[in-house]
Amino acid sequence: MSLVYKQVSKPEELDAILALQQKYHKDTLNPDEKAADGFLTIRHSREWLQQMHDLVPSVIAVEGNALAGYALVMSAECRRLIPALEPMFAQFDLIRYGGRPLSDYNYYVIGQICVAAEYRGKGVFDGLYTKHRELFSSRFDFAVTEISTSNGRSLRAHERAGFEVVHRHKDSTDDWVVVLLKFKN
């Protein structure tokens, strides 16, 4: 069977995202696993995922019924629907890109990207972002996300996928880099 990249369309796909998220969350991995394989820092509730997907369905990679990976889409409308996201969006408002604040652009946030261990090294990460470009490049100027500086695997993968660092900051939990994938000139 081959991998299929598509947008979330069924409730059970949201449940599969939550299961993968739980498996690779930083609190469930030991230090060696985090260093070697990367980790997730946020747990989304089922309600949050549903609200996000009602606005813009996220991208997943599936093989049969197995979820190989996902890349969540948080459009600007999520800011109003999910109050916990306000600090992140407020931080992004302070960042300038191309001489203008990010808020002047039409962008969305990659809420999280994750590839199941058995699919790593098989192009799934790049495939998810290829699908993002295909689906969203005519609608948005770019995608933006933030990555813990201690997540070397994710930093390297995002750099390989064409993301550029546009900001660095520290909060009470970690040091972060904000990276951007430009779709339009």
Q: CATH number, domain at 118?
A: 3.40.630.30
Provide the number of structural domains found in the chain: 1
Nearest to 16 by CA among 73, 79, 76, 58: 58
- The 10s digit of each residue's pLDDT in 68-85 is 999 999 998 888 887 777
| 39 has a pLDDT exceeding 80 | no
- What backbone torsions phi and psi does residue 117 show, to the nearest 5 degrees? -55, -40
pTM over 0.75: yes
Which range marks the domain in which residue 139 is found?
A: 4-182
| 185 has a pLDDT exceeding 70 | no
**Whole-number Å distance between alpha carbons of 128 and 11:** 20
